[in-house]
Amino acid sequence: MGMTGAGKTYFIKHVTGLDEMEIGHGLKSCTKDIQIATTQIDGYEVHLIDTRGFDDENLNDTDILLEIADYLKTGVILSGIIYLHPMDRTRMGGTGKRNLKLLQNLVGRNNMGNVKLITSKWNGVTPEDGNRRLDELVKDFWNGMITAGAQVDSYNGTEEDGKRIVQNILKTSPPFNSCSNRSYKKDVK
């Protein structure tokens, strides 16, 4: 999950090696429907679920949330949510704040340990500015989620680093509490 342009599809494409996933390079969002990419990591069949950004120009945030909720009604059990935040963004505007609020409402405080807050696009920012922005994100925007168990990490844009992030979820994230009475299957969003 994350804002349009955060690198969600890029992350999934590089972790899975699937070339058919289209990555947007323009100003408009590219992901139109939920897409699922499957790969093997450490003996697990992992399903990475690509969603629209909550600031999509074609649908409002509520409709996107309903789209995700409808998908979750299919019985999928999530092991974790990867929330990508692009470090080349200079401001956390209203859309970014709404994204975080929607994420918190969707996941709930009891499942926040299944959330990985991942920074992306470090190549678009100096190390000094990136570290300053990261400190601000942690202190001013992510603090409540971190206190509830979410973990912060960074993605350097490579297949190996993406797999490392997914491996961490596979090792540390139990299935979401609200789904614990169903059969267990490891899916990562």
Strand partners, 80: 188
CATH architecture of 8-188: 3-Layer(aba) Sandwich (3.40)
Strand partners, 48: 37, 188
Q: What is the pTM of this model?
A: 0.80
Q: What does the pLDDT read at residue 30?
A: 45
CB 85 within 8 A of CB 5: no
Grouping H, G, I as helix, E, B as strand and the rest as coil, residue 16 is: helix
Q: Where are the domains of the chain?
A: 8-188
Q: What does the pLDDT read at residue 175?
A: 56
Give the model confidence (pLDDT) of 110-162 as tens digits.
989 999 999 999 999 999 999 999 999 999 999 999 999 999 999 999 999 99
Tokens for 48? 């990475």
